[in-house]
Amino acid sequence: MRQCCRQAIVVLLAVSAVTAAGPGLRNAEAAAEAGPRVLILGFDGMDPVLLRQYLDEGALPNFSRFLAQGAVVTPFGTAIPPQSPVAWSNFITGRDPGGHGIFDFIHRDPQTMLPRFSASEASAPDKFWKLGKWKIPRGTGKVKNLRQGTAFWELLPGADVDATIFKVPANFPPVDCEVRSLSGMGTPDITGSYGISTLITTDPPVERDLAGGRVESVYLQDGRFTATLAGPRNTWRQGDPEVLAAVEGVVDQEHGAVWLRAGTHEVVLKAGEWSDWVPVDFPMVPLLKSVHGICRYYLISTSPHLKLYATPVQLDPERPEMPISTPGGYSRELAEETGLFYTQGLPDDTSALENGFFADADFVRQSELVMAEHLAQLKSELDRFAGVERGLLYFYFNSPDQTCHMTWRNMDPGSPTHAHADPAHAGRIRDVYRDLDRALGLAIDRAGSDALIMVMSDHGFAPWNRAFHVNTWLMNHGYLVLDEGTMPTEVDMLRHVDWSRTRAYAIGLNGLYLNLAGREREGIVQPGAEAQGLLARLKAELEAVTDPLDGKPAIKYAYRADEVYHGAMRDTGPDIVVGYHRGWRGSNESALGRVTESEFSDNMLKWSGDHCMAADEVPGVLLVNRPVRRANPALVDMAPTILTLFGVPVPADMVGGDLFSE
C-alpha cells in the first residue's frame, strides 16, 4: 500500500515536469517524506478463536476486507499472567513485569501484609490548618502511577511525532508528557473507587453489602421520594465525611414515568429510558470548593416497585478533579466535540449485572451506550489523524473484554450458570465483534491509504467454570498455618494467619509468595537453598493438582518468577505465578487473602468468561496491513516496533524486538 502511494507520487512528479508544480503537489510530496502514519486499534480481550469463527460466518465484512488487502490473523503473545494491567504494561514499556513492576490487579505490602491495588496510589494532604470543624489543607493530594519504565510515547515528541494515546489501560494518572493522551483502565469514579453505581428502589435486596454498588432504599409519600448519590470524602472537614448529593423524585406509576431533580437539573424518564449525562455537584466548602461529576439515570421500573439506576458518578471531563488527560484541556476539548462521556476506566457496569441491579438486557443496553460513545470519539480522532503527516493514533475499546466476562455463560452450555442466562443474548459477543468490525471499517476508510494499520489485543478469552482456592490448598498441604483456634472462613485479607509457621501464601488472581525472611515482615523462609527447594517443591505439587470433579489437571504451569521475569522489580512480585488450564481460574476469595472450606468450587458468578490462566491458553491477536517478520510476536514487541518505525532509538531495557524485522 505504501508502494502504491510512492508510485502515485512518481506520476505526479512526472506531470510536474510539463506543468508548474502547485502547492497541493508540494504538500503531498512533503507528506510522503514526513511519514510514517501509524494507527493502532486496541481491542481488549479479542480472541483468535472467536475472531476466526465470526469471520467464517461472514459476520465481519471489514475484517474480511482488511485480510483481503494482505493482513493475516496472527496469535499474539500475551503477558504472564495474562491480566489486563500486566499485559498493557508490557505493551506500554516493552518490559515484562520484572521490569515494569505490575504483576497483578492486586499486590501486597510485605510489611503490613495487606493487599493494595497494583497500578496507582492516592494520598491525601497530611498537613492542615484547623478552624473548628474545618481543616484547610496545606498542600494538595497526590495520585501516583506505580508502573515503572518509560512509556514509548514519552520518546515520540523528541522525534516530532504527533501522537494521541486514547484510553490505554494502566495509564492513570496519565504520564506527564507532550502527547495527547486520555487515561484508561484504572481511572476511578468520583468516589475514588473503580465504579460504584446506585440503585434507588422501594424493593431493596436483603444483601446490601455489595461490591461496586450501593442501594438507596426509599419510601413513596404521595409518589415522592428523596435519595442520595455518594461522592468523595470531604478532606476539608474533620473526620473526612462522605459527601452526598440529593436526588428528589416524583413517581407516576400510572404512566410509568419519573421526574427527577438533582441540584438545579431536572430529568423526566419513562420506564426503559436512559437520561443524557447530568451534572452532579458535591459541595466541599460552601461558596469556595465543589467537586464536579456527571451521571446518567436509567428508569428500570415504576411498578410494582420503583427501580431507578444511576451510573457511577464520573469525573466531569470538562472539569476533572483528578488528572485524566495530557494536556489537561484535552478531555474538555473532546467533550466539547463529541459530548460528555464515561471517564471511568472500565465503563461497562459489570457490577450492576452481578449485583442484580441489571438484567442481561439492561447490561447489553448500557454496553451499547458505551460503544456508541467510543465510535463517535474514534470518528473524531480519525478526522484529526487524516490531517497528520507524521504521527501515531492509538485507540482503545474495552467492550470485548467486559462483554466476554459477563455473557460467556449465555452462549456456553458448559457454564455452571448457563441455565439461568437469558438466551436472547447468546449472540451478544458476536454483536460486539460486529461493532469492532465497524470501527475497523471507519479506520480503513478514514485513515488514508498510506497509513500503517495495526489491530491487536492484549489476550484472548476462555470459559471460567471452576475456581481453585489456592490459600486453602496451601493450608491443607501445610504451607499456610492459621492462628490457633481460627476457622478457615474467619480469614480475610490474610488476617489471622500465623506468620511464624507460614511458608507460602497467595494474594491476587495468580500470585503466590514465599514468606521470605528479609522481605516479608515476619518471613521465615531463608533466601538461597531453602527458598529454592521450596519453590521447586511447590511448582511440582501445583502442576500435579487435579480437580476432583473430573480428575483433570487444573494448573498447566506454576511459573517461577526467577525463570520468566527480567528486571530490577522481579524480586518484589510473586515468586510463583499460577497459570491455569482453560476452564479453571484462581478464586476471588484467594485473591483477597481468604481461606475457604474446599479447594475447588463451581463458578456460580455471572462473570463466566476469563483470561487469568496460562499465557498460551489465551493468546491475543495481531493483524497488520504489512508483513510481520518476527517469530512469535508478543506484546513486549509493540513499544520497540513503534519507536523503530519513527526512527527513535529503542531503550536497552526493553526486552521485545521489531515486528517487521527477522
In tens, the pLDDT along 490-518 reads 999 999 999 999 999 999 999 999 999 99
Confidence class of residue 237 from pLDDT cuts 50, 70 and 90?
confident
Least confident of 6-20, 481-495, 643-657: 6-20
Average pLDDT over residues 446-471: 97
C-alpha cell at 484: 490457633
Confidence class of residue 208 from pLDDT cuts 50, 70 and 90?
confident
Angle at 506 between CA 590 and CA 481, to 5 degrees: 95
C-beta of residue 619 within 8 angstroms of C-beta of residue 632: no
C-beta of residue 258 within 8 angstroms of C-beta of residue 306: yes
**pLDDT tens digit sequence for 134-190:** 777 777 777 888 999 999 999 999 999 999 999 999 999 999 999 999 999 999 999
**pLDDT tens digit sequence for 293-329:** 999 999 999 999 999 999 999 999 999 999 999 999 9
Among 13-22, 288-297, 528-537, which range has the highest average pLDDT? 528-537
Least Cα distance to 566 among 77, 106, 100, 89 occurs for 100
Average model confidence (pLDDT) across the chain: 92
Residues in Cβ contact with 392 at an 8 Å cutoff, skipping those fewer than 6 apart: 37, 38, 39, 40, 153, 156, 161, 162, 163, 164, 642, 646
Confidence class of residue 286 from pLDDT cuts 50, 70 and 90?
confident
Torsion angle defined by CA atoms of residues 315, 93, 84 and 122, in that order, rounded to the nearest 10 degrees: -40
What's the confidence (pLDDT) of residue 7? 36
What's the confidence (pLDDT) of residue 207? 83
Alpha helix stretches (DSSP H) within 526-637: 529-542, 561-564, 588-591
Distance CA 589, CA 498 (A): 19
Q: How many C-beta atoms surround the C-beta of residue 502 within 10 A?
A: 23
Least Cα distance to 407 among 611, 610, 185 occurs for 610
**pLDDT tens digit sequence for 19-35:** 333 333 334 444 445 78
> What percentage of the chain reaches a pLDDT higher than 90?
84
Half-sphere exposure of 396 (CA within 13 A, CB side): 25
Amino acid at 210: L
With a cut of 80, say whether residue 427 has pLDDT above it.
Answer: yes
Average pLDDT over residues 181-204: 94
Least confident of 235-239, 555-559, 624-628: 235-239
With a cut of 50, say whether residue 130 has pLDDT above it.
Answer: yes
Distance CA 328, CA 317 (A): 10
C-alpha cell at 6: 510512492
Distance CA 203, CA 201 (A): 5
C-alpha cell at 260: 427527577
